[in-house]
Chain A
Amino acid sequence: MIELQGLTKTYDDKDVVQDISLRIESGEFGVLIGPSGCGKSTTLRMINRLIPLTRGRILLGDEDISHLKPETLRRRIGYAIQSIGLFPHWTVADNIAVVPRLLKWPKSRIDARIDELLDLFHLAAGEFRDKYPHQLSGGQAQRVGVARALAADPEVLLMDEPFGAVDPLTREVLQNEMRRVHERTRKTIVFVTHDMDEALKLASRIAILNAGRLVQYDRPIELLTQPADAFVSDFIGKADLGLKLLSRRWVNQYQDRARTTPDAASGRPSHYWETDATGRPTCLHGGRLSDGDPEARTAVNDEWIATPGMPMKEALSRMVWYRVMVLPVIDESGRLIGEVSMDGVMGRQP
């Protein structure tokens, strides 16, 4: 748990952070967001005392962080930054081992931890342990950066725009991994970003900052449906509010049973799935746009599918892109477990 109480930072008589109070419970994914210069990074860096605070208190658990030595505090808090800052003269394994070594863990425990973390980020230990940072792609380096921050199993993870410098495709993948890692580890995370879509995708709570002040601190849905003021609704962006809401909804919330035989009884045009012996969907009969031709057959491909944990926004995007009214929902082994449809999205309140 992290609690900020009346946090204020003053540079040259100017308050860059003014009287911010908020509480991020254990296991929550808290996001600080706002336009550049709003004080979000400064706030984050006051938590691990890279920047000294001017007034107020920060509690980590029930300890006031000013009572801890900065080094001791920082070894208890993971830290990942946009430019990653991997040590270029050390291998991936050495980079991940930094904090465990500072904490004087035994070597066997450090080695096991390195493998565990590489595995968590789907980096093959045999291949990556001994690589140097300059041999990694941007996405791989950022994964190692986050793995390094998690190395000593810190109570809290601070992340300062960690995916800001990677290309949009990699960012998407990293965000999905971050969600998965958060679900697995249930770390308390404080995450700084200026990207609202990223915040909506990851956060369990979002703090919107403007000009050093906390404007609204709420769950994403409340932020979208009950913005505190005009600044918040402008910052969220009204134009694609509907899509943003769908980015906080998951496929399993809209999932229907998938028909695998033609529905002769119903009067309206219908569709059904063809599956192979193992239960994987191979082809869709009907269901294409609204032409209603029940004989139209469309082969299922790797892109044209949904998974229960996928944001509904992404599922919708795939329907639009592949010009279908319905997507198969598959489980981890690729078996058909249901379907989501355009009708389903429209028929339910987001």
Chain B
Amino acid sequence: MPAVFRHADRRLVANRVLATLLVAAVAGSLLLPFAAMAPNRLVSGESVALVAALSPWQTLVLLGLALVLGVACLARPLGEHRGARTALIAAPLALLVVLYGLGDYATRALADASPAARVSQGAAFWVAVFCCALMMVDAFQRLRTPLWLCSIYALVVLGGIVALFAAGTFDALAIMQEYFNIEDAFAAQFVTHLVLVGLALGPALVVGLPLGLLAHRRPGARGPLFGVLNFFQTIPSIALFALLVTPLSRLGDALPWLREWGVSGIGAAPAIIALIMYSLLPIVRNTHAGFAGVAPATLEAASGMGMTATQVLWRVEIPLALPVILSGLRIVTVQAIGLTVVAALIGAGGLGAFIFQGLGQYAIDLVLLGAVPTIALAVVADFLLQILVTVSRPAGAR
């Protein structure tokens, strides 16, 4: 028998990542507070452990799933691949049980408490949720699952979570209480957030793509161009927002028609300008890299066979550069979703508004109401653009 197989047989743990995540999840769940119960929204609450919060059947199911995951990471009897498939079933179930358990606990705990009392999620909850999510990501990587299958799986898991929301499982939680207080404002700020990101990315693409092409075609322009864009990138976002306030308010004063368009020192205008400045570097850099990655022989063949410069650009260079350009867009989109949070500081609105409001009032649940959707938005955008990158990859190179 070859040495490799004998070695594999001696190994106890086949999937160390899964094992580590499982240990982290179990230890975190047991040692850290799972939920907190507070008499009102402004004081920090009393910690509740996982075992105390969950009902006996929930604890038993979680224990069972933890055992299954424990077996899944071993070399025998399942091995790496069957173990990963098992983890893909057990991890989302554990996730759903933890989510349901938290909501269920909140409902039970508040049933006989004062109306002002709040239940919020604790560190153990986050540890369990993130460990479950990472277990799924790890399993997909081990199985080299095609992206379309990942997408369907993600939709199913997401469907389960949405169903819990729709069933009102989380309604008793503090973060949802915050949401119900400001339901209309939340929807408006959510839309504002998306609009800000869109208004920044649109112009950044319109300016950045030609600049990237310029950097590729004119090596002389590359140095100064990247110098300037790099400089933008090094300015801290809050500083850049602040720096834009004065010149923009002067401009708005000087040109009243601009002010009618909404250009003033605070609000959306400086936010969008700053976001554009931050977005340019990744777009220009990736566009340049995409064009530079097209093999010189391919270009020589293209023009040698009688394609015009325009035909070479549209039929050869752009299709071959597109995946790299779109990876740039992916970076920029995720970055812009995050930076837009900070833009709330200068009155641009968006989900950041709740975060800063919550920080001001020391209402952590309100902060989370801003933060959690922002993170979700970034994750979803990242995933969708990843799909776009894969689809744009030429069939011959996929």
Does chain A have a CB within 8 A of B308? yes
0/1 string, A87-121, CB within 8 A of B gives 1 = 11111000000110010000000000000000000
Q: Which residue of A lies closest to B303 (CB)?
A: A50
Contacting pair A88 B320 (CB below 8 A): yes
Contacting pair B300 A85 (CB below 8 A): yes
Q: Nearest Cβ in chain A — how far from B134, in angstroms?
A: 34
Given A72-B306, A132-B396, A89-B301 contact (CB < 8 Å) = no
Residues of B within 8 Å of A99, CB to CB, are: 305-306
Contacting pair B306 A74 (CB below 8 A): yes
Residues 97-135 (chain B) with a chain A CB within 8 angstroms:
none
Q: Nearest Cβ in chain A — how far from B235, in angstroms?
A: 39
Residues of A within 8 Å of B304, CB to CB, are: 48, 50, 74, 79, 81, 85
User: Within the assembled complex, what's the spacing in Å between the Cα atoms of A85 and B301?
Assistant: 6
Residues of B within 8 Å of A81, CB to CB, are: 297, 300-301, 304
Does chain A have a CB within 8 A of B295? yes
User: Within the assembled complex, what's the spacing in Å between the Cα atoms of A100 and B395?
Assistant: 22
Does chain A have a CB within 8 A of B311? yes
Does chain A have a CB within 8 A of B316? yes
Does chain A have a CB within 8 A of B394? yes
Does chain A have a CB within 8 A of B319? yes
Contacting pair A98 B305 (CB below 8 A): yes
User: Within the assembled complex, what's the spacing in Å between the Cα atoms of A83 and B295?
Assistant: 10
Does chain A have a CB within 8 A of B141? no
Residues of A within 8 Å of B319, CB to CB, are: 89
Contacting pair B297 A89 (CB below 8 A): no
**From DSSP, what is the main secondary structure of chain B's interface residues?**
helix
Contacting pair B397 A88 (CB below 8 A): yes
Contacting pair A88 B301 (CB below 8 A): no
Given A81-B300, A84-B297, A87-B298, A134-B397 contact (CB < 8 Å) = yes
Does chain A have a CB within 8 A of B292? no
Q: Nearest Cβ in chain A — how far from B333, in angstroms?
A: 25
Contacting pair B308 A71 (CB below 8 A): yes
Interface centre among B305, B319, B394 (most CB of A within 10 A): B305
0/1 string, B304-320, CB within 8 A of A gives 1 = 11111001000010011
Residues 299-347 (chain B) with a chain A CB within 8 angstroms:
299-308, 311, 316, 319-320
Does chain B have a CB within 8 A of A40? no
Does chain B have a CB within 8 A of A86? yes
Residues of A within 8 Å of B302, CB to CB, are: 85, 87
User: Within the assembled complex, what's the spacing in Å between the Cα atoms of A209 and B300?
Assistant: 24
Q: Nearest Cβ in chain B — how far from A315, in angstroms?
A: 37
User: Within the assembled complex, what's the spacing in Å between the Cα atoms of A91 and B396?
Assistant: 7
Residues of A within 8 Å of B300, CB to CB, are: 50, 81, 85
Task: Find B307's partner among A50, A73, A102 (CB 8 Å cutoff).
Answer: A102
Does chain B have a CB within 8 A of A328? no
Q: Nearest Cβ in chain B — how far from A143, in angstroms?
A: 15
0/1 string, A184-200, CB within 8 A of B gives 1 = 00000000000000000
Residues 45-103 (chain A) with a chain B CB within 8 angstroms:
48, 50, 70-75, 79, 81, 83-91, 98-99, 102
Q: Which residue of A lies closest to B308 (CB)?
A: A71
User: Within the assembled complex, what's the spacing in Å between the Cα atoms of A134 and B396?
Assistant: 7
User: Within the assembled complex, what's the spacing in Å between the Cα atoms of A305 and B295?
Assistant: 43
User: Within the assembled complex, what's the spacing in Å between the Cα atoms of A90 and B394?
Assistant: 8
Q: Which residue of B lies closest to A99 (CB)?
A: B305
Task: Find A89's partner among B299, B305, B308, B395 (CB 8 Å cutoff).
Answer: B395
Given A132-B395, A132-B396, A85-B306 contact (CB < 8 Å) = no
Q: Nearest Cβ in chain B — how far from A100, in angstroms?
A: 11
Contacting pair B396 A148 (CB below 8 A): no
Task: Find B394's partner among A50, A85, A89, A145 (CB 8 Å cutoff).
Answer: A89
User: Within the assembled complex, what's the spacing in Å between the Cα atoms of A149 and B304?
Assistant: 10
User: Within the assembled complex, what's the spacing in Å between the Cα atoms of A102 and B302?
Assistant: 11
Identify 6 new A-B residue pairs, CB closer than 8 A, beyond the known A87-B302, A132-B397, A133-B396. Answer: A72-B306, A74-B305, A75-B305, A81-B301, A87-B298, A88-B298
The 3 closest A-B pairs by CB, nearest first: A85-B301, A89-B394, A132-B396
Could you name 28 residue pairs across A and B whose Cβ atoms are closer than 8 Å?
A48-B304, A71-B306, A74-B303, A74-B305, A74-B306, A79-B304, A79-B305, A81-B300, A81-B301, A83-B295, A84-B301, A85-B295, A85-B299, A85-B302, A86-B301, A87-B301, A87-B316, A88-B298, A88-B394, A88-B397, A89-B320, A89-B394, A89-B396, A99-B306, A102-B305, A132-B395, A133-B396, A134-B396
